[in-house]
Structure formats: C-alpha cells, structure tokens
Structure 1
C-alpha cells in the first residue's frame, strides 16, 4: 500500500519562507532541493518575472548564502540558492525521513505546501514525528492510498479497508493510553463517517483476534 498526502508544513524557521514574504504574490515555487552539508541546502526556485527580486536582493536575506540566476522560462525567473538551515530544521532535513516528493513545493508566508508519497502509514507517522520533534508542524490536508498495491492475500484475513483503518489508527496513536486521536478524527482522514470508522476497527480487531487466537488453537480449546 502506498500513501499519497498533501501536506502543510509550518515553522518560523523553514527555509525560503522569507523569500515568499518578500514577493507581492506572497508565494514562490521550489522545484528542486538537494542537501549539500548538514546545515546547508541547495534549492532551485521559480519567481514570477514581475517580482522585484534579483540576485543582489536575494543574497541580502539572512538565510541565503549564495544566489545564481539560471535563466527565465514561462514568465518565471529561475534561481539556484544555497541556504543555511536553522539547527532544528537541519535535523529534520538530514535525509532520514522516508517520503518521496511528488511535485514542486509551494512556499508561502504560512509555510510549505507539498505532495509526498509514503510506502505506508508507518513511514508517514515517522515523517510526522521527525518534523514535530524539530519544531515543524505537519497538517495533513488530504490523504489517499493506492489500493492496487494491496496484496491479494491480506494478512490475517483482513479486508483492504480494515487493514487501512487499523494501520491508520495505530500510526495516529489510537491504541495508546491515553489515546492521541479519536475515531472521528480518523474517519475524517479516510473521508468516511465516524460510525463507519468504528465499525471497520471493531470488525478488523475481531478478525485479528480470531485469526491469531484460532491459529494457536485457543478458541477451539476453550469451546470444548
């Protein structure tokens, strides 16, 4: 199962936000990012040609170390920037998070808006945890999964929907004490009603218990 997410990342220390704030439109597009050193990142950004931003002005921003103009395309100026990262942000950008960027990043004064692909809910949860541990708030705007990648032989006889609901609940801390989320919040992420979510969890839990206990012979023993 693969998970496609639309995310909003926010932190006062996120790189490029100061550049977006300097534009009339209040936004820029980041089309590529590459880690150069633990505390430095290279970005390729696009800015509308109507904006009064040049190499000279960009390099005066505190976070920007170096600027190179790459050219112009489709009404946008393209710049290569070397940016110095805040220590916390550098920890979040160390490459340990497991998520593939699906499209360019929209950078605004409110943070980053990006689409990422994760292999499963566990990878998504790890990404969220790493960001939040380093002062970056992660808001999931939209979430979908690729049902074509679900294995024909579902583990423990779970249906695809039960597996999805249980995986999401586990990744969000639903089974922790105290609970970190509610069935209603999980339902919102899957785009279903709260009763439907509760039913999926209940049926999935019963199927897991039946499959695991019956495989050990416990149910048959107790039923004698």
Structure 2
C-alpha cells in the first residue's frame, strides 16, 4: 500500500544546511529530484536576498559537482545541480528506499518534506536508516494512504500548508482583479516569510490546475 508522508527536519541535519544557515533570508524549494548511480540531480528554486553570494557559496561547496542557472522569475532563481551523495546521509536514504519526493522546501530553519513510499516497509526502512545514521530531529506531521487520498480527492493532494495558504489567499482577495491584498500582508497574517508563502501558493496553484485540467506535470529540460 503506497503511503504519503509529510514531515519536517532541522535544516542543519542535511548537507546543504551548512550553506543555508549562513544566509538569513534564503529559502529553497525542490521541484524535481533525479536519482543517479553516484548521487542525484535536484532542480530547485531559490528565493531571498544575496542570491549572487548564495550562488557562489553553492558553486564552491565540495559536494556540488555542477550548478546551472536555468531560469529567473520575479527574481527567484531556478537551478539544476548535480549532488555527490555519500552513504549515511539523508539523501542516500531516499535513493535506497525508492522514496519519491513530491514536495520539499526550507523555511524558518527547517526542511519540510512530502514523500511517497511504495509501502509501509519502505517507510520503516527509511526511518530506521535515519536513526542508524544519527539523522535526528525528524517530526512526522501526517501519514496517509492512497485510499485515504482518494476519499479526499477535493484536496488535490495539497499539503496542509498549501491548502491553508490558498484558502486564505482566496478569502482575502489575492486572486481578485485588482488584488485586494499582497503576499506580504498574507505572510504576516500566517506568521511566515513572504518567500515561503509564495512557494506554497505557487506549488498549490500548480497542483490544483493540473488536477482540475487532468494534466501531467511538465518535464523540466
């Protein structure tokens, strides 16, 4: 039985944490992860200030084999990187257990993940892997099966955070013409950064549109 799992982990528990923790206003959103024999290739959005400095820090990181800027939208940057994965690290556990990364983003000193595991045994294997390799601080927020998802199809597979952001944005008139509220105002009401809210609204809107129109996610070149 396929399981969907949402959890959070301290940002310093992951390899990139050493880079992100040096920047106060940087947030990252993984949009696609491709496992390879020697590591993995993530595609991710970066938002915040000092983006040039942050890009240099990524390029100089010994574990990043290559980094390519693919696009810039509203000053947010989309990158493709090749990451050297070492056994015993968080991302190696993802590859070993065949977990699919549905959503991943950083905010307020934590990584937030939404994974899909082939079955309960794989989920248990991943959790035990983290414990054995001293990957601590994991907080599981939600676990549900595809059967449960089917009974809540109206949620469009949104995370609780995405649903909360979209509902508030709709209620406050963010999607009205002209807009009746700004992202900054909504972020203040939710008590999160504007970048984090932008990622939730963007990601949630994409899921709703794709599901409503019965489309598949676009492939990144």
TM-score tier by shorter-chain length is: 0.5 to 0.7
Cα distance change, pair 29–18 in 1 and its aligned pair in 2 (3 A)? farther
Aligned-pair Cα RMSD in Å: 3.2
Counterpart in the other structure of 1:203: none
Query: Which has the larger displacement, 65-74 or 86-95?
Result: 86-95
Unaligned runs of 5+ in 1: 151-224
Give the alignment's TM-score, normalised by structure 1.
Answer: 0.53
Aligned-partner Cα distance in 2 for 1:144–1:90? 22
Counterpart in the other structure of 1:51: 50
CA drift of 1:115 comes to: 0.7
Secondary structure of the 1:141 match is strand
CA drift of 1:17 comes to: 1.9
Counterpart in the other structure of 1:114: 113
| 1:135 is aligned to 2:147 | no
CA drift of 1:13 comes to: 5.5
Higher alpha-carbon Rg = 1
Spell out the pairing of 1:1-224 with structure 2 (5 A cutoff).
1-10=1-10, 12=12, 14-38=14-38, 40-48=39-47, 50-53=49-52, 55-89=55-89, 92-93=92-93, 95-103=95-103, 105-108=104-107, 110-137=109-136, 138-147=138-147
Size of the aligned set, in residue pairs, is: 148
Secondary structure of the 1:95 match is helix
- The runs of at least 4 consecutive aligned structure 1 residues that moved more than 4 Å come to 10-13, 108-111
Cα distance change, pair 107–91 in 1 and its aligned pair in 2 (3 A)? closer
Unaligned runs of 5+ in 2: 151-221
Query: Which has the larger displacement, 94-103 or 65-74?
Result: 94-103
